[in-house]
Amino acid sequence: MRNKGKFDQSKKDQPKGKKRSHPHQKFEKKQKGDPLPSFSENVRLNKFIANAGICSRREADVLIESGVIEVNGKVITEMGYKVKPTDEVKYDGATINTESKRYVLLNKPKDFITTMDDPQGRKTVLHLVNNACKERIYPVGRLDRNTTGLLLFTNDGDMAKRLTHPRYEVRKIYHVELDRPISREHVAELLKGVTLDDEDFVKADAAEIIAETGSREVGIELHSGKNRVVRRMFEAIGFKVKRLDRVQFAGLTKKDLPRGKWRHLTEKEISFLKMV
């Protein structure tokens, strides 16, 4: 009989172009770079232009020097100029709009790596969400290649920082399958805390055996964002992780989200994350 606690989870589960010589000639639109700030702070004008997808920062400097960028109706040619949240920025008379914020939740399958690009040509998580929205989105945190489960993508830089910063103690729950049966004594070790291979000390916020005696399955909750932390915690008490699935992240769950599929967050979910 399976334990019906909170850990019980269903198993269904380009290179840059050359600089243009004519200052008024349009630049080729490139893929968006780092997410635009939420405008809780001022940002350099060249970064604002680059993140809006107009061109690179270096090319943005050329545009600024050539006098085709206006801020609040005034031509700006000063390098290092910063724009405020309320400023209107125009390029050749057209307003540059900050992109809409997007929040996409993926149920990651195995064999996909969490990176924007891989020189070795391996499959990345970006391949799975490339048609989710026109804005360029980024993964919040990481899951290693063999780990499955919830991975959030967004272009909201402020939210991404909050969700990954240790100070906010964002909770994650994992379903772990081990190489051999685990005892209650081992679970108690995880709750008390273990020393990892790099001498860091980490403890689980909660942990329990998912089924009866002889089970190799454990549910573990923690807020640490250290690299491969779950696998390393079990290694510290003598176990190898055979399967690892993140079933909850910052209150988000895999309900109605099959493996390899994604969905946009609801307004209610977005509001909740902004309060984290």
Number of other CB atoms surrounding residue 187 within 10 Å: 19
Instruction: List the one residue out of 18, 48, 17, 19 whose CA is nearest residue 33.
Output: 48
- Among candidate residues 92, 111, 118, 144, the one labeled active-site is 144
What is the C-alpha to C-alpha distance for residues 18 and 7, in angstroms, rounded to an integer? 54
Which residues in the chain belong to E strands, given as ranges? Answer: 43-44, 69-71, 74-75, 82-83, 89-91, 94-95, 103-108, 138-139, 147-154, 172-178, 194-195, 201-202, 206-209, 217-222, 241-249, 252-253, 262-264
Alpha-carbon gap, residue 153 to 159, rounded angstroms: 11
Does residue 144 have an active-site annotation? yes
Strands 82-83 vs 262-264: parallel, antiparallel or unpaired: unpaired
Per the CB < 8 A criterion, the answer to whether 150 and 105 are in contact is: yes
Which tokens in the block code for residue 23?
């200052």
User: Any idea which residues carry the catalytic annotation?
Assistant: 144
